[in-house]
Amino acid sequence: MNKKIIVIGSTNLDLVFQTENFPKPGETIKSKDFSMLSGGKGSNQAIAASRLGGNVSFISKIGNDDFGQRSIKELNLSKVNCDYVFTDHEAVSGVAVILINEKGENSIVMAPGANNLLSVSDIDNASPIIKNAAIILIQLEISIDTVKYLLKTVASSESKIIFNPAPMHLLDDWMYAKIYLITPNESESESLTGIKITDIETASQAADYFLNKGVKNVVITLGAKGAFFKNKDEEFHIPAKKVKVVDTTGAGDVFNGALAVALGESKNWREIIKFAIAASTISVGKLGAQTASPYRSEIISNN
């Protein structure tokens, strides 16, 4: 069944520099290559979910500029419903400066711009579709007050909330109880729980922290090592296939988008996590976030 997925979050223009190494403080380095690509965690996750077969609507805010229009074009091409992508006429659209080193690792600085202005009244305006969502996918590149309002507003509905705590921001205790599935990476998990993940046992301890706070299900992404899942009934680790890494930017976004799709298809947890790992593994083989986001047919032919 193709359940309605709502993604709420950021839209950015990514300025991507491919360099040998990251510059040290005070150093100027030359980039080997440069690209301007549509990005933003929210927009990336919406596109990932839609390309993988989800029925996706996106709630976001852009500036009245070319950057924002460029992002809308990409979202439309990927069949994401943008009826609730609002435009602020004063602010600029979000921008991210992304450095990719030779190992495919990235370093990102983001200027939120209009993303910070996605307000509680925008959420109220979009409430008809939020109330009807089967799955709501949220990250933290928008104002935390808007995220809090959203969690409170939708709390009474039947929606399953997937919460990707990226970039890291400390959460109030009450927020955890609203979350159906939390998806931190290792460093976000450590910042939220205080537990450093060094192996499966410590991943399990970190997952317990979230479960004890009231989250129903936990997936901790482990980069090239795959992902760890835990809820009250089961826990397991699924490793990732070894592949040549070109750029890891947006791999977490593809993972989250894929989780939303698989969750809507009533797969079991192992199948859901395997599907998300397969999708994100494909995405690290290409440059960029949305440019590397796979279509459903690619997952089938890769597995």
41 binds ligand RIB (CB under 6 A): yes
What Å distances lie between residue 121 and 84, 124, 144, 146, 231, CA to CA? 12, 5, 14, 9, 34
Nearer to ligand RIB, 226 or 252 (CB): 252
Each residue of 190-207: b (16+ CB within 10 Å) or e? bebbebebeeeebbbebb
**Per-residue 3-state assignment (H helix, E strand, C coil) for 204-235:** HHHHHHHHHHCCCEEEEECHHHCEEEEECCCE
12 binds ligand RIB (CB under 6 A): yes
**Cβ atoms 87, 62 nearer than 8 A:** yes
Q: Least distance from C-beta 60 to ligand RIB, angstroms?
A: 12
Nearer to ligand RIB, 81 or 115 (CB): 115
Nearer to ligand RIB, 202 or 293 (CB): 293
Q: Least distance from C-beta 45 to ligand RIB, angstroms?
A: 9
Nearest residue to 37 via CA among 89, 85, 100: 100
| List of E strands, the chain | 4-8, 12-18, 33-39, 55-63, 81-88, 94-100, 106-111, 135-138, 160-163, 181-182, 217-221, 227-231, 235-238
Encoded one letter per residue, x for contact with ligand RIB by CB under 6 A and - for no contact, window 49-88 reads ----------------------------------------
Specify the stretch interacting with ligand RIB by CB under 6 A; choose among 35-43, 52-60, 152-160, 258-266: 35-43
Q: Least distance from C-beta 173 to ligand RIB, angstroms?
A: 26
Nearer to ligand RIB, 110 or 138 (CB): 110
**Which residue in the set 5, 9, 39, 91 belongs to the binding site for ligand RIB (CB under 6 A)?**
39
What DSSP letter does each residue of 56-87 carry, written as one string?
A: EEEEEEEESSHHHHHHHHHHHHTT-EEEEEEE
Nearer to ligand RIB, 107 or 205 (CB): 107
Nearest residue to 231 via CA among 180, 168, 158: 180
Specify the stretch interacting with ligand RIB by CB under 6 A; choose among 20-28, 39-47, 60-68, 293-301: 39-47
Encoded one letter per residue, x for contact with ligand RIB by CB under 6 A and - for no contact, window 222-251 reads ---------------------------xx-
CA angle 171, 172, 176 (to 5 degrees): 80
Radius of gyration of the chain (CA): 18
Alpha carbon distance 237, 214 (integer Å): 21
**Which residue in the set 96, 130, 142, 150 belongs to the binding site for ligand RIB (CB under 6 A)?**
96
Q: Least distance from C-beta 132 to ligand RIB, angstroms?
A: 27
259 binds ligand RIB (CB under 6 A): no
Query: How many other CB atoms sit within 10 Å of the CB of residue 129?
Result: 15
* 253 given a catalytic annotation: yes
110 binds ligand RIB (CB under 6 A): yes
108 binds ligand RIB (CB under 6 A): yes
Give the residue numbers annotated as catalytic, written as ranges.
Answer: 253
Which residues are at the interface with ligand RIB (CB under 6 A)?
12, 14, 39-41, 44, 96, 108, 110, 141, 249-250, 252-253, 289
